A and B are shown apart, each in its own frame.
Chain A
Amino acid sequence: MERLAASYRLDYDVRARDYVSGGEVSSALRAILKQLSLPPDLVRRCCVACYEAEMNIIIHSFGGHMSIEIFPDRLEMIAQDSGPGIEDLQKAMQEGYSTASEEAREMGFGAGMGLPNIKANTDYFDIQTGKEGTTLTMKVLFLKKEGE
């Protein structure tokens, strides 16, 4: 695997209900990861986690921001929005639970699989939520230690 000389940083504002721009952040991330010739399954894990976090800001929040840093050995992403927060985090983490609008559901969003998908595709996942907003911190490791 090619080693990264420098680290990359992406910063994007994500607007609420802006479905047409949905995937802009994840597409930019994908473009960089592909250049680094990382294994395709690793690229997919990073991109799926990023896309789900990005779409959750669009679908469920008042708007937010994504900060992404790509280091030689890992990806770190922070998805932060300004509310309204997740009412019942335990339920939200369950597969199939969704409060998505009819509009979002008609487009095929709202399967209630986004947060579970993020968890499954990342090596580290933390979620902090309250009325003032939700912050997701996600990490994907590029190089696993022996035996992992």
Chain B
Amino acid sequence: MSIKVSDLLKHNFTLIAGEGGLNKDVDDVYICDLLSWVMAKAKQKSAWITIQSHVNIVAVALMADLSCIIIAEGVEAEKETIDHANEEGLPVLNYAGSSYEAAIELYHLLTT
């Protein structure tokens, strides 16, 4: 099924920046904290789950054409990250649980 970033907000994901991009499609999910690995392997229109929270993750997501960033484990995003994501309209979401738990929630959203 095709979902939008906005659909995640009905679940345990909290939007912290990039409201302008809520209408982006999410087709897939990728989990990794190594930035080059993400740019090599994540498919376009993926939701990217990571525990990195510094400003460079915004550029990585934009260059790789990802739909949103989900920062797991309740890690707080830095102020620069939030500002940059707002400027670019790239949704950044916070998730209190682990990357694994976030992926399970997304799996259910994408398959039901």
> Chain B, interface size: which category?
20 to 34
Shortest Cβ distance from B65 into chain A, in angstroms?
Answer: 5
Interface size on A, residues (CB 8 A): 26
Footprint of A on B, CB under 8 Å?
Answer: 33-37, 39-40, 44, 50, 52, 54-60, 62-65, 80, 88
Shortest Cβ distance from B89 into chain A, in angstroms?
Answer: 12
Residues of chain B lying within 8 A (CB to CB) of residue A40: 44, 65
* Contact call B63/A48, Cβ cutoff below 8 A: yes
Residues of chain B lying within 8 A (CB to CB) of residue A41: 44
Shortest Cβ distance from B79 into chain A, in angstroms?
Answer: 11
Residues of chain B lying within 8 A (CB to CB) of residue A48: 39-40, 63-64
Residues 40-71 (chain A) with a chain B CB within 8 angstroms: 40-41, 43-44, 47-48, 50-52
Footprint of B on A, CB under 8 Å?
Answer: 19-20, 22-23, 26-27, 30, 40-41, 43-44, 47-48, 50-52, 107-109, 111-114, 116-117, 120
A108–B39 CA distance with the chains assembled, in angstroms:
12
From B44, B60, B80, B88, contact of A51 by CB (8 A): B60
Residues of chain A lying within 8 A (CB to CB) of residue B88: 27
